[in-house]
Amino acid sequence: MVTNVGPIDLRLLDSDAPRTVANFLGYVRSGAYAGSFFHRLVKGFVLQGGGLNWSSAQQPPVGLVPVGSAIANEFAVSRSNVRGTMAMAKVDGNPDSATNQWFINLTDNSANLDVQNGGFTVFANVLATSLSTVVDPIAGMPLINASACTNLGSAATALAQVPMPTKPAACESVTADNLVQVLSVKELPTRFTVSDPERVFDFMEAYAPQYLAPASATTAAGAGFVYRYYGSTQTYLAAADGVLYALGPATNGQLLPLGSVAQWLAQATSHGY
């Protein structure tokens, strides 16, 4: 999940919560979460997203992420709402009402959320590095009450506790820069079923989408290299004989060694790739 303040890496629990993971991936694959933002932060409790989006091209700029059918609850005590887990939000009094909204548990909420409303279904874990370097800083941002900003649209009523990296002077001055936006969400290949270079490619795509897009370009092989080509930036990532290379306009046609695949793989592995 690429945000404007850094990537949030998730490990989906598809074997334990197959219906919920399939529902989440349906929104991911449709692109529904691109342009959404974290609209609710309860400090020391949860960080919530998936329900609202922002587009300067639309009026009002705040809109709703399209909602699909509700799914049946898959809560299990073996997947408790502890710190770093992601769970589905739902309507009070209806255990089977989860649709597009989700939240990240900022602390151990098991005593509360495991027993409320049939239990809240945990379907993913935030990897440790993302939790400490991206999620925790978001959780420490100032809270802004924008619920009275009628210029943002009727959905503004849900904006009573918005985390904002920069505080706007007034409702009229709120822009995307004031929000923690989800720029894109990419489904990575199943872990341990791809080669080491491909895991490194996946990792680098998530961390530099402005250079390595579209994400998850097809892996190819030729001239002794395993590589991916990114047409929008005319850039190659390649690996050969244990070395990672880049080739593109910025390298002036020269094959630029970036270090060993093993070094990059260690970073990729630490981020869950």
Instruction: Enumerate the β-bridge partners of residue 54.
Output: 62
Over residues 41-55, the pLDDT tens digits come to 999 999 999 999 999
Q: How confident is the model at residue 83 (pLDDT cuts 50, 70, 90)?
A: very high
What does the domain layout of the chain look like in residue ranges?
2-184, 196-270
Q: Beta-carbon neighbour count of residue 268 at 10 Å?
A: 22
CATH class, range 2-184: mainly beta
Report the candidate in 219, 184, 203 with the shortest Cα–Cα distance to residue 3. Answer: 184
Over residues 158-182, the pLDDT tens digits come to 999 999 999 999 999 999 999 999 9
∠ CA(140), CA(44), CA(86), 5° rounding? Answer: 95
70 neighbors 97 (Cβ within 8 angstroms) = yes
For 102, the 3-state DSSP assignment is strand
88 neighbors 117 (Cβ within 8 angstroms) = no
Over residues 65-81, the pLDDT tens digits come to 999 999 999 999 999 99
pTM of the model: 0.75
CA dist 23 → 17, 74, 75, 76, 101 (Å): 10, 12, 15, 17, 11
Over residues 205-251, the pLDDT tens digits come to 888 888 887 666 788 999 999 999 998 899 999 999 999 999 999 88
